[in-house]
Structure 1
């Protein structure tokens, strides 16, 4: 029985051997497919972690650069002379009525105008509970400035001895009864060397600017970038943040709370995502990127589908062969081969050179398939180059270093570039439109159109010299240059300068161009792009219409220019004295020294603007000095050198000395009135020249000289005569004795009064009273 059964199974296995082979073939397919699927998923996850950390670090570097700009300005601002003078003022006089306050308002307004990220700047004076801001001066928490919730944090910091800190985030109320908005604020307590808080500088950052900054990075639509403060409170995030709950945020922050690493990637279950974070030592903020957990799996879904389909196909074949005999399978195969031979006979009639050999026909099929794949690859490349959106994203990814790492060597990397890139070296031009001046007709939404036009000009101008591709990113146009081997750094600078002048001539608006250093391989292109962008950001205070060379250096002619500070000092001295002729000569020397340096018009205009700003700081608000003239607006409308020089001579050599002379005369009269008023009020006390000089804010030598010019006698003689006259009045009109009178007029005893009175009048106080 057993032998018969064994024989039966052998016969069945002999008939069904093909089905058995197919079923056994499923085992290696499933085994190796699973390994490939698992390995592919792990590779993609590692790539997600690497690219996420790279993006996070780029974001952190840009935020640290912004923080540095804010803190550097605050440090420079707090060391200015006008701030130091403000710290010396107590509860009186009122800072709202001082010329010093005007210069502070100008400084705050200028900073808020120059830095796009700043929403508002406050300078809070503690003793007078008053806030100086861009628009004027207001009482703390008054209707003019209802934003007051930062004071509690400032007082806590002062109690712990902290001198500077960030308040992120906090609500800001800009107008009375208006809903609060979100902002990030930097606070600096003044002065530096004293624990007593006398003033506070508050700088408020636009949350919209932070959103725009993090929105510039090419994240997928379902990824979330977030910024947290040192207390793990959310500062800002991309728009996709709205889908997260408070519990989700708590789970995300728990990742780095329990981890000592400054940066890493973890997977969390709620929400099911990968969290990549990086901690900044600059301000103790944490930057986190949230990527859904299914994102890496999407990249290997095709592999999973292939494995499943292959398994199903082999299973069906095994099922079919289990019901069909080997002979039937052979008949079916023969019919298929005959059909194929019939099709090949038709092809042979069309191609006389074709061989009847079956193997040769297989080779022809293989060649046609290879040709078809090549044509498909060419079509994809052409489609990539001609599709504007895909092309822009591809080139942007190339600049960010997200393309080159997919290739193992330079040859594979170059194969992914546009066909026009045939040279071995590369560089970039980053083109940024200069700041739009007040009263200009261009709107903010026109900036993208302007950059598009600038990119087209760069394409037309430079394509005759070298292969070029352009990319549009927020606020900038980037030109990727494929440099010939003979192209030098000097040629690169000349090309950038020619492009700057052409854009200015055609579009009637200036740009700043940052030139990237020469990259000697495609792998160095992203570094060149990043360095050019960093140089452009560091030059945020420049006057525009310039070319920034690698490393942040400005053009050679601008780099060697120096400001004629000697003639500025002499000009201001002549203006103070009211000498119009001397002021005209000093200004002429200032102009001639600038002309001798052979520097461009933009640099000359910058130096003249610096002279104007210095004069306003020294001589007070331009509205007071120039009878409501708006000097900034007048100056910025001047676009020719002769217009600027004529205007400067009219202001500094004509109008300003006259007005300053009048102001000096009025101030001198006010000073003399105050001086005599102090003597009249305090003649009965221990009055001294030093005390009056301190009260009036002048030196004793100046006060003594003024007495001689104004009165004709010395200060001691004037005070003595004044006391003698008061003594005469008391002797005539009262019954006070000499001891009481001496005390009333500022002498310590009666003998001293008698001696002084007799020396001044030739008689004693007693005889004077008896005669009268």
Structure 2
């Protein structure tokens, strides 16, 4: 296509520094770059449209805000008026109950005297006078003190007739009003209900009930407020005729509404308010129509008032502004097109010269791209794109290397193996923004149910597992500065940097968001979250991680909780494993009792658990118990690797353990000890002799103490019942008898070889009472200690 004539040439080529024109005119294909530049300039006019749109939106928003403020103020005034009337109803209600005539003459019908019956008209006049005070806001007032008569402003009516014929409540039958006489209550507002009147009419009323003692009898006073009175107070002051009103109680139950609202519209409004958190103002769509909803809560009665106004009722005000903005934008665009044409002409020639230079360079990629018709700018920028691609590739490789290094650092840190390279550690902390504040660990553990593996395809499962870390980390770092690593399969550890006091609230909000995010996935998995304590530096993250893992384990005792904070727990950072505990395990190995050995280990573990020992230190405890078995084998010159493979040995010596690994780790430990007992166990008779020898040796060494069966059993790591039975069956004598005989043998030696008094000998043989010593000695020897000494040639040192 060619431009015809000088005007066409000027339009395509411009005025002044024209691009090169061949003798045949100015072909568009040759100067495609010029038109591209011009289109770029014209695209800069788009902000004019955006600015016009923004101006319109802001003006419209301000006008909507003004309307919203006026609607809010109008609703506030109406609600205040309603509250004043309701307060007056309450005051009138209370005045009626304390009125002298009511106090003096209102009694149950069966207790009324003739004089009381004469004064009944006074009660009726009193009710009528109270009703007339707020006749425009009250439907009726009635009192009753029994189930026989009801007193109204129009007279006295039989109880059943009144509630079944004259004023029958749909929601509250006659039985309900009978029960009210047994409930002492002060000014209770009941839900709205329809009443059937004697003439067949119906109306919706709000009953207000008070039951209290008068003259020693419970009297119920009821005032009913027509729902139309409340709605009339709202609509009477409405700014827009199309505004509808809805009133709910504190439990969000609808009390009254404008007539034009259907049940479906109310449900839609209720759903959208709940979804948005019930704001004071909300613009939404109901039944296909845009609505402005304003809410106000009554400070006196807790009712929720909603005004719902169609946006079309006030939207016409912004139409004139939109017209003016459109014309301004059109004028600016025309001016912009003219100036963009001029600027495009001035830029085109220099760019064309640069293109010509680059076309002359012998670069194969440039020639190849040009042959494919990449366009004018492709010839100019090809080399630049190549450099950018190389830079992006290098940057991506460096990012992966950096991420792997940071993950390795944190994994080593939480596993108790911090780096020794302080400079490298500082650079990592600076790169991820961990430069100040406090630190803690959060652990996220997913426990997948069978449904996850049966109902979800394998490819989808793999994708889900790959994205879990991304989802968790994405939510966390929107609220706090953090770094997340996958420590074990389905266990994610998040290191959190709390820079300010407010960051802790941000962390709580992040955890709340995570729970809500995975709430609907709980049919497939359980998400457990453990939070460690806060520490002043990153070197303590291992302790925080240990506490977080312990918190996960504590969820077994708190099944109603998905988040446990270590700050709420008493977690110890040292395990308890005494020489006595080790002795019990060794004794169980010696006597070859696997059940006893398991019981001792379980007792040691539960003791540590009850003291709040952290999970990582429980792992160290298992490693210490394993070392006891290791030393036991070493002392007997046994090869440890006969009883545990190298892989098992490495696992059992690890000082860290996860809750998911605990069962497997303990079972491997038990299997290790079972193999030791199986290989080193003695025959039953030799086992019995070994235990009896231990007991006899202990008695011989400790007879001077306050010795008894339970102490001996505890010292050798066996149950008292087992020790007593085994010793009796093997020796034919009880442990108590053996202790006494041993003491008497020692006493006889001291009587013959020393000049000690009888009381001193008693103390040295473990018998604190001299009388008991004399009795026991005579039981076993047949004579007293002094007679025994005299009979064997010792001098009498006197019994004192």
Question: Which of the two has higher C-alpha Rg?
Answer: 2
Q: Place the TM-score, normalised by the shorter chain, in its bin.
A: 0.3 to 0.5
Say which structure, 1 or 2, has more relative contact order (CA 8 Å, 6+ apart): 1
